[in-house]
């Protein structure tokens, strides 16, 4: 089968590019002829507040040969990209979607291909975490040009159905991000990070944005005694100054170990191995790629009860949900976690991981494609 994937790939870094590369490999391993259609330009600078969009020298990345033809801010490239995809003559076109900024070119390309092949929107977020008034109409315009969609939580699937009731869909859980290697000794990991070897260790990991609720977690840890410490690891999208000021105001800055930069793949194992639990104090969510990394390292999780997080955490019993999106609720849930047998969470993670494979996800996607009609 000939399968085209339109998405960011290497040399772009981040979760979408990693996800697409691993899906590419899983589909290719099944004997399919898979081709990656990539961006020549992804974000204009004003939409990207981070340090860089690209893989750097010290990053480990999955490299996929791709046709870099799509420029998000050049409509002429939409025509070129469509021509390139048509020339490949795919049976299936998979388009990665996560924000409405890309909806116009995606809708144009999907419209041009929908009479030639099956078009599937692979939706990471139907509605952005920081929404705008134009998000829903733009997303709807794109989804209505597709034959079907694939989502990783029922919450995302419900959002899509609200925007495009005619579209068929499949829900398959986010596979593991297993490219980071294995867990290392906790004592060794703490020494590598220069954090206290004796304290209960909490982890906040990933890109830092307002909706992720780091401020709530900082305040929650301030409510705990001095036997706790919080590792904050990730690049801040925007200034980190407000969090630095908040930490200083607690009067106990030593409880917070800050690594405010993009975490390279080689360094990821240390953070997840040094920690007792990964915390997602999000104000809004669909799913999170962080859960897939935590699964890989058998690390239990605590999350606020928002979006689709309970589907990947509470339902399989691999962590706890804070019932309210408040610092008090997060602090209370952390205390509850440490009263429970951590090994039970780990055992449930090991059980759940058997189905969270890229092979399983690829099979689910291909089986769904068989049900679609052009």
Residues 131 and 202 in one domain: no
Does some domain include residue 46?
A: yes
Residues 118 and 18 in one domain: yes
Residues 16 and 154 in one domain: yes
Domain hosting 137: range is 2-175+357-370
Does some domain include residue 180?
A: no
Residues 287 and 168 in one domain: no
Residues 291 and 349 in one domain: yes
Does some domain include residue 129?
A: yes
Cβ atoms within 10 Å of 245's Cβ, excluding its own: 9
Residues 206 and 295 in one domain: yes
Residues 302 and 337 in one domain: yes
CATH number of the domain enclosing 46: 3.40.50.2000
Rounded Cα distance, 67 and 70, in Å: 9
Residues 209 and 168 in one domain: no
pLDDT at 264: 86
Does some domain include residue 181?
A: no
Per-residue confidence of the chain (374 residues) as pLDDT tens digits? 999 999 999 999 888 999 999 999 999 999 999 999 999 999 887 666 566 777 776 667 788 999 999 999 999 999 999 999 999 999 999 999 999 999 999 999 999 999 999 999 999 999 877 778 999 999 999 999 999 999 998 989 999 999 987 779 999 999 988 888 889 999 999 999 999 999 999 999 998 989 999 999 999 999 999 999 999 999 998 889 999 999 999 999 999 999 999 898 889 999 999 999 999 999 987 667 899 999 999 999 999 998 778 888 988 899 999 999 999 999 999 999 999 999 999 999 999 888 899 999 999 999 999 999 99
Rounded Cα distance, 30 and 150, in Å: 19
Domain count across the chain: 2
pLDDT at 132: 83
């Amino acid at each position: 089968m000939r399968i085209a994937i339109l998405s960011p790939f290497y040399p772009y870094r981040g979760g979408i590019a990693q996800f697409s590369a691993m899906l590419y490999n899983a589909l290719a391993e099944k004997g399919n002829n898979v081709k990656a259609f990539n961006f020549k330009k992804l974000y204009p600078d004003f939409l990207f507040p981070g340090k860089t969009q690209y893989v750097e020298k010290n990053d480990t990345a999955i490299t996929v040969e791709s046709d870099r033809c799509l420029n998000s801010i050049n409509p002429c490239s939409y025509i070129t990209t469509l021509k390139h995809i048509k020339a490949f003559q795919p049976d299936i076109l998979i388009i990665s979607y996560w924000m409405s900024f890309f909806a116009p070119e995606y809708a144009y390309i999907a419209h041009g291909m929908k009479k030639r092949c099956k078009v599937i929107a692979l939706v990471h977020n139907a509605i952005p975490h920081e929404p705008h008034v134009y998000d829903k109409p733009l997303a709807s315009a794109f989804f209505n040009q597709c034959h079907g969609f694939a989502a990783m939580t029922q919450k995302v699937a419900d959002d899509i159905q609200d925007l495009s009731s005619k579209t068929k869909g499949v829900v398959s859980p986010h596979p593991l991000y297993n490219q980071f290697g294995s867990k290392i000794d906790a004592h060794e990991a703490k020494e590598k990070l220069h954090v206290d070897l004796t304290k209960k260790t909490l982890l906040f990991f990933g890109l830092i944005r307002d909706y992720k609720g780091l401020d709530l977690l900082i305040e929650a840890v301030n409510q705990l005694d001095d036997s706790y410490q919080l590792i904050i690891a990730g690049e801040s999208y925007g200034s980190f100054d407000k969090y630095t000021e908040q930490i200083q105001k607690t009067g106990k800055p030593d409880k917070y170990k800050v690594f405010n930069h993009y975490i390279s793949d080689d360094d990821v194992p240390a953070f997840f191995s040094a920690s007792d639990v990964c915390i997602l104090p999000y104000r809004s969510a669909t799913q999170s790629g962080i859960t897939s990394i935590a699964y890989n390292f058998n690390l239990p999780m605590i999350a606020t009860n928002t979006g689709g997080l309970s589907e990947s955490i509470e339902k399989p019993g691999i962590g706890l949900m804070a019932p309210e999106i408040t610092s008090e609720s997060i602090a209370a849930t952390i205390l509850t976690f440490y009263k429970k047998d951590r090994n039970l969470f780990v055992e449930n993670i090991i059980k759940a991981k058997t189905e969270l494979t890229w092979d399983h996800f690829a099979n689910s996607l291909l089986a769904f494609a068989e049900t679609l009609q052009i």
